[in-house]
Structures are given as structure tokens and as C-alpha cells.
Amino acid sequence: MFTLAHLSDPHLPMPPARAEQLLNKRATGYYNWWRHRVHLHVPEALTGIVADIKAQKPDHIALTGDLVNVALPQEFRRAADWLETFDRPDRLTVVPGNHDAYVSVPWAEGIGLWGAYIASDGQSASSTAVFPTLRRRGPIALIGLSTAVPKLPFLATGDLGAAQIARAERLLTEAARDDLCRIVLIHHPPLLDQSRWKHLTDAAAFQTMIRRVGCEAILHGHNHRSEIARIAGPDGPVPVLGVASASAAAGSKYGRARYHLIHVERDRDGWRLEVELRALAADSRGCAPDGRLVFHSARAAAMVS
């Protein structure tokens, strides 16, 4: 059995900004953070989630974006330091979210600082042409997608683009031929019923691709709540699993901070995924089971021939 921990949207505490750094979209986000969001995302909750993940000793960890808030250079540096205290790059995979691309920032000064946690196996951590990524861990193929594109103020939408979707299809096909359990990591939920201000703009194109080649699960964040949906695959519905914010304050509109433990094992002609939802205690000291989901996937013989 292989165990994967999934967390998302930690929204690490934001450092002070200089006035000249706020002469763009950051101004509204900065004000919103100090006026509202600072009370919704608290470091105590995130510390408790990380401590419980470490205590559970998963084989790997997936983090699906929104480490920062308004893409300040000092935020990216702090996030890089935080990742180092969390776990090693070979044990932790990151994909970015919309807040990580709040405004355009040079790769080397922004997301690129986390390159060792993003890059595909065998790829340089300094490479800017990284997505989609592929990391093989035991029987798992982790395919990382980026929906992080700078947008106009008050928009939190995401884009994949036709080229990234096409490359992802090739990776998923190859991973199926290698008889791997394919788990897609993405920030925005690839669903069609999302808010027009926060949705994935090419969710329909992504779903069309999944209908052709399938995968065993899609993990996302963005909505700040644990949720489940399904989209069509070639061998049946594909589970789409969203996770709550890992830094949600107790009593906030987001509910309790959570992460998911996903236990993967072979199941006859496919895979069995058992998902344990773990929620932070009210005093932020430890987590407890908060639900359980089980999924079975079969794979057509033609896909692995």
C-alpha cells in the first residue's frame, strides 16, 4: 500500500509590503488580507496540520497551490523556507495556485524558488518550462498541472491551455502503459459548475481529454472545502477530490482545516483508493478522522497493451 497526503491552500502569513509593490492588483488583495483573510487563515492551524501529516508518515505529500497571497517576492522566499522545514523535495510535490500567480513575477524570483518541489523527475529545478510535471513514486504517477496565470483584479480564474492539456494526455497514456496509478494534481477544480469569477476556463477541454485517456483520481484545492465530484473517464467515473484549506481558522466560514490521507493499493484489474479525511481539533492540537471514501478503478485492457 502507498499512502499520499494531500493538502492545499495554506496561505502562509503575509509579510509587510513596500508602497511601490502595491501599485497593481496587489493593492486590493493586500487590503483584503489585512481586513478579512488574516482572520480566516491562521498559522496555528497550518502548524497542526503539518504536525499530523508528519506523525502519519505518508510515503509522499502533494500540495496543490496557494502558498502565498499576493505574490510578493518576500512571500515566495518565506514559502521556500517553509517548504524546507516541511519535507524534502523528493517527498513533497507542489503545483501552483492562482494566488501564486497573483501578478506576474519573474520565475527565478517567484515560483521558481520552489523549483525543486515542482520539477519532474530528472528535470532541472531551475527550468521554467516545467508543466505538466511527472513524478513517479512507487506505483504512483503524479501528474502536476499549472492553472496559475495572472488575471485582472477581482478574478481568480485559471487556465491550462491547449498545449499543456495535450502534453498531459501523453503523460497519462504513457503512465497507463507502465501500469501506474495516475493521480492528477491541479489547483482549480476541473468542473463546469464553478463560479464564473473563480472557474477553470478550459475545464471542458480538460474533461474531453480525460474522457479519452482517464486517470485514477484528480486532486485539487481552491474552493477551501473538502468536496467530491466525478467526471467521465473511458472506464467509468473519475473521482475529483477537493481538500479544505490547511490553514482555515476554527469557526471561520471555511470550517475546520483538513487534509486527506489517500491509501492506494492494487485491486484486481485496477486500483483501490481509500481516502481518509482528517480534520484539525478545535485547539489545533492534532487531527482526527472526519470521514472516509473508497474508490475502485478498472482500466481497459487496450489502455495497457
Among the listed ranges 32-41, 74-83, 282-291, which one has the minimum average pLDDT value? 282-291
Residues 262-286, mean pLDDT to the nearest whole number = 92
Give me the chain's average pLDDT, please. Answer: 94
Q: How many CB atoms are closer than 10 A to CB 47?
A: 15
Q: Print the domain residue range for 157.
A: 2-304
Q: What is the pLDDT of residues 19-69, one digit of tens each?
A: 999 999 999 999 999 999 999 999 999 999 999 999 999 999 999 999 999
Q: What is the pLDDT of residues 240-266, one digit of tens each?
A: 999 999 999 988 888 899 999 999 999
Among the listed ranges 2-11, 206-215, 247-256, which one has the minimum average pLDDT value? 247-256
Residues 217-245, mean pLDDT to the nearest whole number = 97
Residues 194 and 39: their CA atoms lie apart, in Å, by 25
Structure confidence at residue 299 as a pLDDT band (50, 70, 90)? low
Residue with cell 474531453: 208
Q: Which pLDDT score, from 0 to 100, does residue 92 have?
A: 98
Q: Supply the CATH number for residue 226's domain.
A: 3.60.21.10
Share of the chain above pLDDT 90, in %: 89
- Cα-Cα-Cα-Cα dihedral of 144, 107, 187, 22, to 10°? 180
Structure confidence at residue 7 as a pLDDT band (50, 70, 90)? very high
- Taking CA atoms, 86 is separated from 12, 54, 79, 92, 115, in Å, by 13, 8, 10, 8, 15
Q: Which pLDDT score, from 0 to 100, does residue 271 have?
A: 96
For residue 302, pLDDT over 90 is answered with: no
| pTM for the structure as a whole | 0.96
Grid coordinates standing for 58? 505518508
Q: Which pLDDT score, from 0 to 100, does residue 301 have?
A: 40
Domain total for the chain? Answer: 1
Q: What is the pLDDT of residues 159-182, one digit of tens each?
A: 999 999 999 999 999 999 999 999
Q: Which pLDDT score, from 0 to 100, does residue 303 have?
A: 40
